[in-house]
Amino acid sequence: MPRKVGNLTLYSIDDLHEMLGISKMTLRAYLRDGKIRGRKLGVSWFVTEGAIKEYFEEPQAPVSDRKPAVKSQRYIVQGINDLVSESEECDTIEEALQVLSEQAIISLFQVKVIDKNTQEILEVITAREFIEQHAEV
């Protein structure tokens, strides 16, 4: 439920998740990156109705200006300790982001970026960094 403070209505991450159907992780990334204006009070983010309207009224870059997915790479999302032994191979960045969005504790995962042709590991990156780098793809 949104919170009322005088004539101001504040929406939490949970409120926005329910209203918009956007993952909580993506919403937090948008807030951290300043794509959506909000304030963090303690450990919780809050957004005004005006900030939500502002986000949706902001012009989006044309599809042709967006980065294309790199087709010669694959991505392995895997747990980084004994508590999480999951490992999932993904062919696209979008697929890897989807797998990460389904994880309860993102800090327990990393992503290996592998060249499909040579099978060489190009990069090992924390899940959070991977999300921050590729959230706009």
How is residue 6 written in tokens? Answer: 């005088």
Say if residue 136's pLDDT is above 70: no
Contacts of 43 (CB under 8 A, 6+ apart): none
Q: What are the residue boundaries of the structural domains of the chain, listed by start?
A: 3-57, 73-134
3-state percent breakdown (helix, strand, coil) of the chain, nearest 5: 35, 30, 35
Per-residue pLDDT at 103 exceeds 50: yes
Residue 12 binned pLDDT confidence (cut-offs 50, 70, 90): very high
pLDDT of 128 strictly over 80: yes
Give the neighbor-by-neighbor strand order of the sheet with 44-48. Answer: 3-5, 8-12, 44-48, 39-41
Asked if residues 17 and 27 have their Cβ atoms less than 8 Å apart, the reply is: yes
Distance (Å) of CA 41 to CA 12, 47, 59, 68, 118 = 10, 11, 29, 37, 48
| pLDDT tens figures, 105-123 | 888 889 999 998 888 988 8
**pLDDT tens-place string over residues 47-98:** 999 988 888 886 765 655 555 544 589 999 998 876 667 788 999 999 999 8
**Interval 17-38 mean pLDDT:** 88
**Amino acid 15: pLDDT:** 94
71 compared with 43, residue with greater pLDDT: 43
- For residue 7, pLDDT beyond 70: yes
Q: Which fold would CATH assign to domain 3-57?
A: Arc Repressor Mutant, subunit A (1.10.10)
> pLDDT band for position 137 (50/70/90)?
very low
Global confidence as pTM: 0.46
Residue 70 pLDDT: 45
